[in-house]
Structure 1
């Protein structure tokens, strides 16, 4: 144990995939991300979704109004692509800094995706514009074909949709978000363009589908894309801890009220903002790769998006984190469950036991 690091100082990380919701839920969860991360890509799948620059400006204003006092956290806004997305509004929003990227949800693929893209050809005009101006495309990479098993939908999306899309738009910058399979990791490993990257969540580094289904259904381990077989989890760990700059942190922290998770048709999403860095550090420690955590968490994402790394730092130390089981929402009548992994987390943020 004496030879193993007991303390880590990292440049402040960024979260390149975050759900903040709105209303009381926004107020309940925002502080947990703001205490740890310098910036975050904010997902636009609200109800109604953030489909134009005016909606993004309004949503950012609500986030800033809910920000903890003194916080320097920067929300980075995205556009929810639909079959009717206006390329001119998209470009104007990107050029004036309203948008950092645009998000492709196949219609029906995940939470609040009913307004998403019916077929990729329907957004050819926005994609042409995005390629021309260097605007990144963020992809929830699953097909929605009911004939495809849910555990195969990511692999099918790569074959059916992503490969043809990138052939038609070879200069488009693409982020494969929250990848869950060895197939996705291998696809990125094989890419030589420098215009493809992927985010990996803490839950997909720690859990496989057994953790959801064996011994009873655990709804708070359920997210989309769903966790896969153990070989896929191991492949993601190899990718995240490899030092390859194309893989970087994206928590996909996605809060849902407890009663919406624990019912006959529970929502997909894991709230990991309070535990994210403890979970990542635990996974990297288990892989013997703590020396590569800073690059994954704090350097690779900014490099891909064209930002400078954060100047300040966070502190982690070996030890079990002191995390709440739930976080109260609004007046406390609702709560959201905190992800703590399938076993014991072995790292904690110093001075961040509560928010």
Structure 2
């Protein structure tokens, strides 16, 4: 197979930043994706329906001309999120979900939820109004090893939320472990997961072997190849509608990544669908790529599938070493490396 035409994909987990930084990268996602779930962890975070609508409008204003791209907005949950605010969100057409960041789990999560019980009344509203809960699934207890935080979260937090809110739609985002794969596979149809290109294509050796490589540093952190990376690949290419595309593309300034305390996040929006194609082609499952990238996420969110098409060609090209990013540089995933699939204009 040297060429494949797909229904235009959607990105069910995307960081766009704001202002000039957003303007530097939003066109890349718009070229590849029909829609994207937009993460709300700005500084300050998007905690109200009114803020979400304003952010939505800024994204629309920043898009290249003649671009068809729909940002799907998300509320950032805090200990103080009210039932009334969530009811307002349910009536705001720009808002499609709410995001749980355990406080301190990742970039700009200091305002996140300190104890899941504090938002139980909000989760009740979300379950009733059919608002999906998107979860960064890691505990932040410093006594828990960073490589174990996802598995512990599933056991100690997620399992209780699912038990107490059995009808709540939940997306366990950017899963990284076999534990998560097995949990989602064994759950009811209202539990799904997104998988990033970097967790499919890299493991912790890429980040640590031969020196610390900051552009492979993300949260949740890259895990072992076996059993975790292998389990993610198997889930993505399986054809199961419980797993779908979510890049977690998260641009940071090059100098802030290459620092004594580098930011967590991997930028992949420049070549998202090509990166996923590498995985599916390697495992001889290109026929499964369209479901994973273009169908399963839309179906889970209850949205129509896109009608526009994209075409990928088997054509070697080299990922640029950096891109302009708001007057500075951002380094993409697999910078300087060769990919074998290219999105045609």
**SS of structure 2 residue aligned to 1:188:** helix
Structure 1 residue 347 corresponds to structure 2 residue 341? yes
**SS of structure 1 residue aligned to 2:194:** strand
How high is the TM-score relative to the length of structure 2?
0.98
Length, aligned pairs only: 344
Structure 1 residue 83 corresponds to structure 2 residue 79? yes
How high is the TM-score relative to the length of structure 1?
0.95
Q: List gaps (5 residues or longer) in structure 2.
A: none
CA contact (8 A) 2:321 2:335 kept: no
Aligned equivalents of 2:47, 2:299: Cα separation in 1? 26
Aligned equivalents of 1:343, 1:210: Cα separation in 2? 17
Aligned equivalents of 1:115, 1:335: Cα separation in 2? 28
Of 69, 74, 81, 2:70 maps to: 74
Structure 1 residue 214 corresponds to structure 2 residue 209? yes
**SS of structure 1 residue aligned to 2:110:** coil
Residue 94 of structure 1 deviates from its aligned partner by 2.0
Residue 95 of structure 1 deviates from its aligned partner by 2.6
**SS of structure 2 residue aligned to 1:31:** helix
Deviates more, 1:138-147 or 1:87-96: 87-96
**SS of structure 2 residue aligned to 1:132:** helix
Of 148, 168, 174, 1:172 maps to: 168
Measured against aligned partners, the alpha-carbon deviations of 1:18-51 in whole angstroms (never above 9, x if no partner) come to: 0000121101010100111000000000000000
CA contact (8 A) 1:220 1:261 kept: yes
1:100 aligns with 96
Q: List gaps (5 residues or longer) in structure 1.
A: none
Residue 342 of structure 1 deviates from its aligned partner by 9.6
Measured against aligned partners, the alpha-carbon deviations of 1:120-176 in whole angstroms (never above 9, x if no partner) come to: 000011100000111100000000000000000000000000001111111100000
RMSD: 1.1
Would you identify which runs of 4 or more consecutive aligned residues in structure 1 move more than 3 Å?
341-344
Aligned equivalents of 1:89, 1:99: Cα separation in 2? 12
Structure 1 residue 249 corresponds to structure 2 residue 248? no
Aligned equivalents of 2:183, 2:335: Cα separation in 1? 27
Deviates more, 1:342-351 or 1:110-119: 342-351
1:60 aligns with 56
Residue 238 of structure 1 deviates from its aligned partner by 0.2
Aligned equivalents of 1:34, 1:340: Cα separation in 2? 21
Measured against aligned partners, the alpha-carbon deviations of 1:183-217 in whole angstroms (never above 9, x if no partner) come to: 000111111x2100000000000000000000011
2:107 aligns with 111
1:305 aligns with 301
Aligned equivalents of 1:321, 1:141: Cα separation in 2? 35
Structure 1 residue 336 corresponds to structure 2 residue 330? yes
CA contact (8 A) 1:139 1:177 kept: yes
Of 141, 150, 158, 2:154 maps to: 158
**SS of structure 2 residue aligned to 1:277:** helix
Aligned equivalents of 2:298, 2:195: Cα separation in 1? 15
CA contact (8 A) 2:318 2:337 kept: no
Structure 1 residue 12 corresponds to structure 2 residue 44? no
The change in CA–CA distance for 1:146 and 1:213 in structure 2 (over 3 A counts) is same
